[in-house]
Structure 1
Amino acid sequence: MNRELNWAVLGSGWIAGDMADAFLDEGRKVYSVGSRTKEKVIEFAKKHNIDKVYDDYHEMFYDDNVDAVYIATPHNKHFEAIMEALENGKHVLCEKAITLNSSELNQAVLLAEKNNLVLAEAMTIYHMPLYKKLSEMVRAGVFGKVNLIHVYHGSFREHDMNSRFFSKSLAGGALLDIGVYALSFARLFMPCKPTGFSSEVQMVESGVDETEGILLMNGEDLAATLTVSLHARLPKRAFITCEKAYIELDDYQRPQTAQITYIDTEKTETVSAGRKDKALFYEIEDMEDAILGKGNDTYLNLTVDVMDIMTGLREDWGFKYPEEE
């Protein structure tokens, strides 16, 4: 396949718009767009210079011109769309959290493997050039063994129980919305899947999680601590403490630079790579390389590990979404 890949976007919210604009910024266009609301998607297409709009969004899964589908619907609608896309031969890039739970994700992974298709989560952390560079340095032993990882991630959301952030019927809650970032960061820099975890959680009246503290452990004396909240403005900061140095990252979801401090000498240096404003297109580039057989990793194994952790945490909390009852 040498031609430029055709992408269909499912969804017409702000993140779908940002992805469509990411294509335009690279001199490309999204091939088509579909949504449950026809009037809204027509307006979306005009705004983002997309030529093809479906009368029924399901049509994108049967359009022979579509190579890959980017899914940007609410969390609890992901699984249905993923499966329909994979059943009809479309590669899938799906917004985080990719599914509600491990059972759904495992079914999707098996179907993707059966149909020889690429399935990936649109997780910026896995695709930022800075993290690829830091990961190489960590693996090469530049900073020594990783001992501790810590992540802060908080946003303040008004207590509107009907909003997507707090509505149980819309798969709301801090874990699936922002906790997935913190967990993905921690898993990226852990040499293996955590062997255990514990947590404390604060729920709101709608029955979803608002704030949680999470501790991850593995068998190599490495721990990760994560603080996640939808009721507190926290700096989106991450730290990796190694034997020889510690690494500090601001805006850790889409970072361009990392501050390195060497413990013995207190010498500091800045490591830079990539651009924040290209974060979404880095996801597309890695996805397309995987589709075209160029070998780039889509980090699906890490996505599976993170989903296992999130599913386990919610089981500990006794927290199920309506689709899981």
Structure 2
Amino acid sequence: MSRTRNLLATTTLALGSSAMLVTAGVAHADPAPLPISSEQAPGLPAIQNLSPIIQQAAADPGGAVSLLMAAAQAFAANKDAPDDAKNMANAVNQFAADPVQPVAHLTGPAAAPGLPEQAPHIVPAGVVPGTESHLPPGIDPANAAGPAPEAEPLAAPAPAPEAAPAPEAAPAPAPAPDAPAPAAAPAPAPVPAGFAPDTPPTQDFMYPSIGNGCLADGGNSLATALAVAGPAKIPTPGPGPGQTAYVFTAVGTSAPAEVQKLPLNVTWVNLTTGKSGTATLKPNPGINPAGPTTMTAIVDTGSGSIMSTIFGQVTTVDKQCQFMPTIGSAVVP
């Protein structure tokens, strides 16, 4: 009987300890973030479908254009896809179908039979390709419109008629009133605060990324992604010619952790040249050091039409955040 009592007491103690452990675990567990639905982000289905295709195209850049067009067309034909997602797929298809040729590498169109070939496009020294209009080297701006037409010979003067008697002199006109001073030229438009006159244009990604449960209070974070074509001064140290800078900002988050536990990557493919690659975005001490977390990378993409996707995780001082992929298109001169 005493042995039975000891067994029952031991079992009761073990069950009580297990219940305490389970209760303690539930009491201190973080609430699971709510899933993101297509109603909250109607373009998300296209992003989730096309981001892996861009990564696949980067592994086979020779077939990148046809691969992207086929995937985008197939998705756009899906009757169940949201309209925003279809529009995004159509935008990808259009961008891939007609890659932009870099200005610095363009040559003139093929000449008609019997005419000499046109000279290649040469950019003068000191001119950034694709950013300003310019004359070919060696052309005097004074003659930019071409030589003046030769003057036609003057015709022989006709014989003068007989002079008529001069009419009486008319009275002198009254002095004209003082003419109003010409209006002053309009002042140049003011530069927005925080922007320099030479601020480079940025090229936003097609759709924001979403970090599920990334905020300190457990809420979701929207992240903006953009590309800056070089040469430019931002983000520091600035992309050079033929480079693309990527900037990813997780809105509403705290500062980035010193050590990123898992990477946030950008995979890109140059549809013009067939070049491709992958790079890891990292915290930039010169941009939002106290938050929101901002990650950057400068990549040697070369000039041309660049299709990119950013995906992965971000480590803030509060959270480890998984971000949905996003895709973007950019033109580098």
Which TM class, normalised by the smaller chain length?
Answer: under 0.3
Q: Please, what TM-score do these two structures have when normalized by structure 1?
A: 0.24
Tell me which protein shows more helix as a share of its residues.
1
Tell me which protein shows more strand as a share of its residues.
1
